[in-house]
Structure 1
Amino acid sequence: MFRQSLIIVSLLSSLMLPPFARAEEAGQPLSTAIRVRWFAKATVGPGSLSAGLVSAGWGTARNRPREYGPHWEGFGKRYGTWLSTNAASNALEAGLGAAWGEDPRYVHSVDNRFWNRIGHAGRLTFMAYRANGTMAPAYARYSGMAGSNFLSNTWRVRSENTVGSALTRTALGFAGKFAANVFEEFFKRSKKPQESAPHP
Structure 2
Amino acid sequence: MLPRVFLLFLSLCLPLLSNDAIVLLHNSQEPALTLSGKTYWYFHEAFRPSKLVTNAAGAGWAQWRDDPKEWGQGAEGFARRYGSRLAISLSTDTFQSIVGAATHADPRYVVLRDGSIRHRAIFALEHGLISRYDDGKERLAYSRFAGAIGSAYLARTWYPTRLTHESRTWEYVVENIGSYMIRNLFHEFRPEINRAFHIKH
TM-score band, normalised by shorter chain: 0.7 to 0.9
What displacement does 1:25 show?
5.8
SS of residue in 1 equivalent to 2:139: strand
Matched, 1:163 2:189: no
| Alignment: residue pair count | 178
SS of residue in 2 equivalent to 1:148: helix
Aligned twin of 2:137: 134
CA gap of 1:73–1:100, structure 2 versus 1, over 3 A, is: same
CA gap of 1:108–1:26, structure 2 versus 1, over 3 A, is: farther
Q: Deviations over 1:110-149 (max 9, x none)?
A: 5322222112102210000011111000001111101210
Q: Is the 8 A contact 2:127 2:184 kept in 1?
A: yes
Matched, 1:172 2:175: yes
Aligned twin of 1:186: 189
Aligned twin of 1:92: 95
CA gap of 1:27–1:164, structure 2 versus 1, over 3 A, is: farther
Measure the CA separation in 1 of the matches of 2:88 and 2:66.
19
Aligned twin of 2:84: 81
Aligned twin of 1:148: 151
Q: Which runs of 4+ in 1 moved over 3 A?
A: 14-18, 22-27
CA gap of 1:26–1:77, structure 2 versus 1, over 3 A, is: farther
Q: Quick one: which amino acid aligns to residue 183 of structure 1?
A: F
Task: Choose between structure 1 and 2 for higher RCO, CA contacts under 8 A separated by at least 6 residues.
Answer: 1
Aligned twin of 2:199: none
Worse-superposed segment, 126-135 or 34-43: 34-43
Q: Which runs of 5+ in 1 are unaligned?
A: 1-10, 192-200
Q: Deviations over 1:135-185 (max 9, x none)?
A: 000001111101210121012222322212211111111111111111110
Q: Is the 8 A contact 1:27 1:130 kept in 2?
A: no
Q: Which runs of 5+ in 2 are unaligned?
A: 1-9, 195-201
Normalised by the length of structure 1, the TM-score is 0.80
Aligned twin of 1:103: 106
Q: Quick one: which amino acid aligns to residue 59 of structure 2?
A: A
Q: Is the 8 A contact 2:105 2:133 kept in 1?
A: yes
> Among residues 108, 115, 118, which one is paired with 1:115 in the alignment?
118
SS of residue in 2 equivalent to 1:75: helix
Measure the CA separation in 2 of the matches of 1:70 and 1:26.
52
Q: Is the 8 A contact 1:27 1:129 kept in 2?
A: no
Worse-superposed segment, 116-125 or 35-44: 35-44
CA RMSD of aligned residues (A): 2.4
Worse-superposed segment, 30-39 or 72-81: 30-39
SS of residue in 2 equivalent to 1:112: coil
Matched, 1:47 2:50: yes
Q: Quick one: which amino acid aligns to residue 136 of structure 2?
A: G
What displacement does 1:188 show?
4.2
Aligned twin of 1:198: none
Q: Is the 8 A contact 2:156 2:164 kept in 1?
A: yes
